[in-house]
Amino acid sequence: MFWGRFMTLPLVDQLSDKGLLKEQAYIGGRWHNALNNETFEVVDPATERVIANVANLGAEQTALAIKLADTAMREWRAQPAKSRSEILERWYQLITDNVEDLAIIMSAEQGKTLVESRGEIAYSASFIKWFAEEGKRVYGDVIPHAQNDRRGITIKQAIGVVAAITPWNFPSAMITRKVAPALAVGCAVVLKPAAETPLSALALAELADRAGLPAGLLNIITGVDAVAIGGELTSNLLVKKLTFTGSTPIGKLLMAQCAASVKRTSMELGGNAPLLVFDDADLDLVIPGIITAKFRNSGQTCISANRILVQKGIHKEFVERLKLAIDAFNFGAYSSSESTHGPLITQKAVDNVAAKVNKAVLEGATLVCGGQIVDRPGHFYAATILTEVTDKMSIFHEEIFGPVATIYQFETDQQAIDLANDTPFGLAAYLYTESMRRSWQVAEALDYGMIGVNETAISAEIVPFGGVKESGQGREGSKYGLDDYLEIKYICFGSMNK
């Protein structure tokens, strides 16, 4: 059953505030077409219908945005932190006032259900609220000096123009948790959103403009030529920092490009998250937790439970209960009130997931359910469970990025830890046990930046998000989220006794 309001209406006509749907890039406080007037299509992945034609910019306009950002930042960073905070607070309020329209835009371009999109909008707004407050708490230090006639202090200053590149799977939250701390401490931002999901970024820029954010501080560069735009962002000497969320191979490439000018980088890269279920785990907690950790956004999250490690004694019951929960899923468009899960982002993504599953089965995995591309319009892959999976199979080492639960068995705690750590990635890990001793021992032994114990909903604006090893560097959110946008300056006062 479809909501009549959404059945055939163009996207703009689904919105209460039609001014939130933008198709031009945002540079220097103004809306811009591409220099050659080229556009690219934005497609609803659930219906494969074109919902917008967005300006397709390149390196030249990226350079312009950087120049304008550098100019605008000089006055912005000189303002009192409270003044910057007040503007961010207004931006936060406008986002919360427009949740429904922003959710519709997000669901239309990304595919997730409206329930998930509303949740992401609230989550994205929370970073603006948080850093509006934290920006007023950037403190320095007085350093006890070795010489009696000297005094030393440190102050923290905005690093400079920040380049940001964000992904399509969380097209609002991945923006605000980078942009909010940067703006809060006095930086300006030049942002390239994913070409699949530019509309959410442009809507955020429109609301920032309405909130009174001065021109040039937030610039949105839309375009499909990631090489040209990224090349300008990494080579331009006015850019002092690059923040990126995306795949590890692309992150490594961007880091290498930034090395030539020694730019600061923060990277939130790929994951291969393990979820450990011990024999004493409470399955009434485990199953809902796995539904969140594995199937939220149809498995398209960097902290998705990629490898589910289940102790032998509880394995059979676990698989039965997980299958029962999955049977209730209904994949469909956001316009259907019956949809519990949305599509994958592109047909290429569907094909990649299908190839991983098919190869696992050929290597000896057992297909419990799913395992096929859904024969209908849109980019849908059925919820899938694979058992008898081992660490010798290719899928053990791959980030699936789809609604596929791979189940591994283990017998001892050490075996589970070894399996969990057998990856170059180290973003998030989860474990379920009723033993406090085991909780501490296993959590400390796992080589990951974030650990969930009897909990998989671990993200919030107040906690540090980030990984170790090849999952990245730096932390986003929390009090630590300001650090990557600040430089520490030491000032020495001499001859103080004269």
Reply yes or no on whether 268 is catalytic: yes
Nearest to 353 by CA among 285, 319, 304: 304
Distance CA 311, CA 296 (A): 24
Residue 25 · residue 221 · CB < 8 Å? yes
Q: Residue 386 to residues 200, 289, 342, 421: CA-CA distances in angstroms?
A: 35, 18, 21, 21
SS3 state at 179: helix
Q: Residue 258: which region, alpha, beta or left (left: phi > 0; alpha: psi -120 to 50)?
A: alpha
Residue 211 DSSP class: T
SS3 83: helix
Q: Return d(Cα 307, Cα 417) in angstroms, integer.
A: 12
Task: Tell me the C-alpha distance between 15 and 12, whole Å.
Answer: 6
| Residue from 294, 197, 180, 177 nearest 244 by CA | 177
What single-letter amino acid sits at 82?
K
Of the residues 232, 302, 399, 476, only one is catalytic, namely 302
Catalytically annotated residue among 120, 268, 399, 470: 268
Backbone phi, psi, residue 175, to 5° = -80, -50
3-state secondary structure of 286: helix
CB 20 within 8 A of CB 28: no
In the residue annotation, 492 being an active-site residue is answered as no
Residue 466 region by backbone torsions, left for phi larger than 0, else alpha for psi between -120 and 50, else beta: left
Helix (H) or strand (E) holding 88: helix 81-97
Instruction: Report domain 273-460's class.
Output: alpha beta
Residue with tokens 């998000």: 465
Alpha-carbon distances, residue 264 vs 76, 212, 244, 260 (angstroms): 21, 29, 11, 11
CATH architecture of 11-269+473-487: 3-Layer(aba) Sandwich (3.40)
160-174 in b/e form (b: 16+ CB < 10 A) is: bbbbbbbbbbbbbbb
Find where tokens 């219908």 sit.
49
Distances 108 to 50, 200, 405 between C-alpha atoms, Å: 10, 10, 26
Q: What is the 3-state secondary structure (H, E, C) of 407-439?
A: EEEECCHHHHHHHHHCCCEECEEEEECCCHHHH
| Residue 146 confidence (pLDDT) | 86
pLDDT in the model for residue 375:
85
Q: What is the CB neighbour count within 10 angstroms for residue 231?
A: 16
- Nearest Cα neighbor of 428 from 383, 380, 477, 467 is 467
Coil, strand or helix at 395: helix
| Range 414-444 burial, b when 16+ CB lie within 10 A, else e | eebbebbeebebbbbbbbbbeeeebbeebbe
Q: Is 370 helix (H, G, I), strand (E, B) or coil?
A: coil
* C-alpha dist (Å) from residue 433 to 110, 134, 194, 369, 455: 35, 35, 38, 27, 10
**What's the CA gap between 190 and 213, in Å, rounded?**
14
Boundaries of every domain in the chain:
11-269+473-487, 273-460
Global confidence as pTM: 0.96
* Calpha distance 162→21 (Å, rounded): 25
Helix (H, G, I), strand (E, B) or coil at 322: helix
C-alpha span between 118 and 350 (Å, rounded): 25
Per-residue pLDDT of the chain (498 residues), as tens digits, is 233 445 568 999 999 999 999 999 999 999 999 999 999 999 999 999 999 999 999 999 999 999 999 999 999 999 999 999 999 999 999 999 999 999 999 999 999 999 999 999 999 999 999 999 999 999 999 999 888 999 999 999 999 999 999 999 999 999 999 999 999 999 999 999 999 999 999 999 999 999 999 999 999 999 999 999 999 999 999 999 999 999 999 999 999 999 999 999 999 999 999 999 999 999 999 999 999 999 999 999 999 999 999 999 999 999 999 999 999 999 999 999 999 999 999 999 999 999 999 999 999 999 999 999 998 899 999 999 999 999 999 999 999 999 999 999 999 999 999 999 999 999 999 999 999 999 999 999 999 999 999 999 999 999 999 999 999 999 999 999 999 999 999 999 999 887
Q: Which amino acid is at 13?
A: D
pLDDT at res. 5: 45
Place of tokens 């209908």: 376
